[in-house]
Amino acid sequence: MRVAFLVAPEGVEQVELTEPWQAVVDAGGEPELISTRSGRVQAFKHLDKADSFTVDRTVAGSSAEDYDGLVLPGGVANPDALRMDEKAVAFVGRFFEIAKPVAAICHAPWTLVEADVVRGRTLTSWPSLQTDIRNAGGTWVDEEVEVCRAAPATLITSRKPADLKAFCSTFIPEFGN
């Protein structure tokens, strides 16, 4: 199982990157860190700088066809930056076009809204995104984890870091299918 983790150069919530990453590794998978720029990405713990991580590939040099699934970690600044990058948005959209599963947590659904892939889907997120999701044609629910199997691609979403255990234990089997 090869899994893309898409993050902006700065602003990803560290635990929302590292725990799903470790879950992929523990499942025998190969995670790859993809960003809009090469080098390193700066993670955060809420509003404080945390660790930095080496980028494996840029989004411009990546293809959704090369992966079994996509994980979109949150953090407030991370998805806000990604949704402003046309190549990142197209990369996300491509997973839906070719029916590969996507998992998004916390604020990450902002990128899904920008990719215009929430219409007709049920998902959860950090509560402040519920109006954005509804305005984009989605149905927002306040659940620990939500799995939406609307065609063409499965979407797994969670609200916050406290939901990570449920998020990881749900997306790993979906990505393995």
Q: Which residues pair with 103 in a beta bridge?
A: 71, 156
Rounded to 5 degrees, what are φ and ψ at 106?
A: 65, -115
142: left (phi over 0), alpha (psi -120 to 50) or beta: beta
Q: Which listed residue (46, 106, 148, 168) is catalytic? A: 106
46 is catalytic: no
Question: Could you tell me the sign of the dihedral formed by the alpha carbons of 30, 31, 36, 40, in that order?
Answer: negative
CA 104, chain centre distance (Å): 4
Q: How far apart are CA 46 and CA 26, in angstroms?
A: 26
Q: Which amino acid is at 73?
A: P
106 is catalytic: yes
**What is the enclosing helix (H) or strand (E) of 14?**
helix 14-26
Q: Which listed residue (46, 107, 148, 168) is catalytic? A: 107
Catalytic positions, written as ranges: 106-107
